[in-house]
Structure 1
């Protein structure tokens, strides 16, 4: 299904079907890495569903969709520059697909926004980062699967190192006046997200 979405948006700019297949294969391989437990194709699909549900609020749908596919293309828990490295690849691949420069620039900015999830003056950016965080507001069982997956991705870290770091992340979200920047996602997920985060905090 996600292949169809990627092929559809790529076809709007590129007529080289072999090239589109090649870029998709790279995306699929990255998100199917056996060391990934949360940042997988399932994450892309859930992210896509959230964007589609909010599509009437989106101004530049193609930019958000391209960003969706490339935002976690590079994911190494041992590094702090995954977003930067993902944007480099995104810029190159989108250029080969004949995507306009302005759209590429917007997509790179969206990818970088997932590094901090800060409030932006750009509405599309807030929708994109909120959709990325939508897992926080899912039912408890789904949230617990997410935290289990994240822990597996950080398996190289002992509990002594992992738990304080994860605790800091959870406390960061809870310290904010609101986790979700858009009214749409705030109404949809804020309350459940805080419940999930509070519950996880007690377990750390």
Structure 2
């Protein structure tokens, strides 16, 4: 995938079609809820989410990451049974983020479940949304096509253009600046090697074709720098 300025996860041909700001605008938020049968999306929840993604302690898990995820999802458009549920889970998948805690996905999933309940979504839909957010812990294989698309979207950054991947790598280090460098290098290497050791990083065919080769090159370079 070649990459345009300002949209380093997307091919150049799509740059004019996908507006970055529009991806996380209120209209996009309301559209997802409408697709789930909720006619009046919560402005209050939307504003609270945006504030979360703009918290000062974040460097990678920011509005930029959310924008990129939503853009990639729209462009790749891999088939899945419940695309609106995947999109809503993307909005919430990093809603709660504190690098010193290990329950960020759990707390994010619980927030989404509360909002979904208050919005009138049914129990089965709520269960699927909860599980979609939880799968972004990346500690187990996706259990459904929806989960596979969401995980591949979240991991698309690994297959970004080299310059964007470098920026991402530096952003992660800033989020963990409180960790001594030798410890960080060891832990970061374990994470990156874990992805590289997979038979395939991306489960779905479209994401595999778009990002797999670049992701493996990016990971190998990043690991070499940690030596």
TM tier relative to shorter chain: over 0.9
Q: Do the aligned partners of 2:78 and 2:149 also contact (CA within 8 Å) in 1? A: no
Distance 1:64 1:14 in 2: 16
Cα distance in structure 2, aligned partners of 1:112 and 1:121: 11
* Contact 1:74–1:85 (8 Å) recurs in 2: yes
Distance across 2 between alignment mates of 1:174 and 1:55? 25
Q: Which residue of 2 aligns with 1:99?
A: 121
* Rounded Cα–Cα distance in structure 1 between residues aligned with 2:77 and 2:168: 25
| Residue number among 157, 162, 165 corresponding to 1:143 in the alignment | 165
1:7 aligns with 2:30: yes
Counterpart Cα distance in 2 of 1:156 and 1:183? 38
Q: Offset of 1:11 from its aligned partner? A: 4.0
TM-score by length of 1: 0.93
Write the deviation string for residues 151-203 of structure 1: whole angstroms up to 9, x where unpaired: 11111111022111100001101111111111111111111101000000011
- Within the candidate set 29, 34, 43, 1:21 is matched to 43
Q: Does 1:153 align with 2:197?
A: no
Q: What stretches of structure 1 of length at least 5 have no aligned partner?
A: none
Residue matched to 1:66 = 88
In structure 1, distance between residues paired with 2:187 and 2:32 = 38
Q: Is the 8 A contact 2:78 2:206 kept in 1?
A: no
**How far apart are 1:31 and its partner, in Å?**
0.2
Residue equivalent to 2:150: 128
Task: After TM superposition, give the deviation of residue 96 of structure 1 in Å.
Answer: 1.4
Contact 1:10 1:97 in 2 (8 A): no
The alpha carbon displacement at 1:56 in A equals 5.2
2:53–2:61: 8 Å Cα contact kept in structure 1?
A: yes
Going from structure 1 to structure 2, the CA distance change for 1:159 and 1:56 (only over 3 Å counts) comes to: closer
> Larger helix proportion, structure 1 or 2?
1
Structure 2 gaps of 5+ residues are: 1-21
Alignment counterpart, residue 200 of structure 2, candidates 174, 178, 187: 178
Correspondence for 1:82: 104
Q: Deviations over 1:107-145 (max 9, x none)?
A: 111111110264334111111100100000011100000
> Is the Cα–Cα contact under 8 Å of residues 63 and 104 in structure 1 kept in the other structure?
no
**Partners of 1:16 and 1:190 in 2: how far apart?**
39
Corresponding residue to 1:164 among 159, 162, 186? 186
Number of residue equivalences = 202
Shift of the 120–11 alpha-carbon distance from structure 1 to 2, 3 Å rule, reads: closer
| Moved segments of 4+, more than 4 Å | none
Q: 2:69 aligns with which of 47, 50, 58?
A: 47
